[in-house]
Amino acid sequence: MQTVFETRRQRLRLLIEKHGTIAALNTAIGWEPTNARLSQIQNRSIRSDRGTPYEMGDATAREIEKALKLDTGWMDTPPSYAELHPDDRITHVMKVMESMSDWQRDQAMKIVDTIAEPPKKASGGM
């Protein structure tokens, strides 16, 4: 299980990807584009005053969520598979199945189970 700091760094990477650069993310948050805080957190730069890596604390996480109109606690919630792999074939299948009715989903699962079964060995009548 990952720590809240690891989760926040993972979420930070997603936000940087979404905004294109740390400078653009800083601007979206309302900070100066050259603010080094997010870069230091992302890279786990060592704090010269303490000798420990920069981590995203609660106040910074809530500030980012508020500025970007994200739900409170979003930075603390591990991303879903679909968030981490938006263009993946498995993500596509998951999205399609989420839109199905219960009956359709049951039928799809039967098909998947059938396809996934190992081939049956031919019985040798010798």
How does residue 10 score in pLDDT terms, banded at 50, 70 and 90? Answer: very high
What percent of the chain has pLDDT above 70? 96
Contact 116, 110 (CB under 8 A): no
As beta bridge partners, residue 46 has 53
Q: Is 69 left (phi over 0), alpha (psi -120 to 50) or beta?
A: left
| Mean pLDDT, range 67-92, rounded to an integer | 94
Stronger pLDDT, 82 or 19, i.e. the higher one: 19
Helix (H) or strand (E) run with residue 9 in it: helix 4-19
Cα gap 109→19, rounded to integer Å:
37
> What confidence score (pLDDT) does residue 86 get?
87
**Lowest-confidence segment of 25-29, 52-56, 116-120 by average pLDDT:** 116-120
> What confidence score (pLDDT) does residue 126 get?
54
What are the structure tokens assigned to 104, written together?
């359709």
Contact 54, 40 (CB under 8 A): yes
Residues 29-52 have pLDDT tens digits of: 999 999 999 999 999 999 999 999
Domains of the chain: 4-79 (1.10.260), 80-118 (no CATH)
Residue 125 has pLDDT above 70, yes or no: no
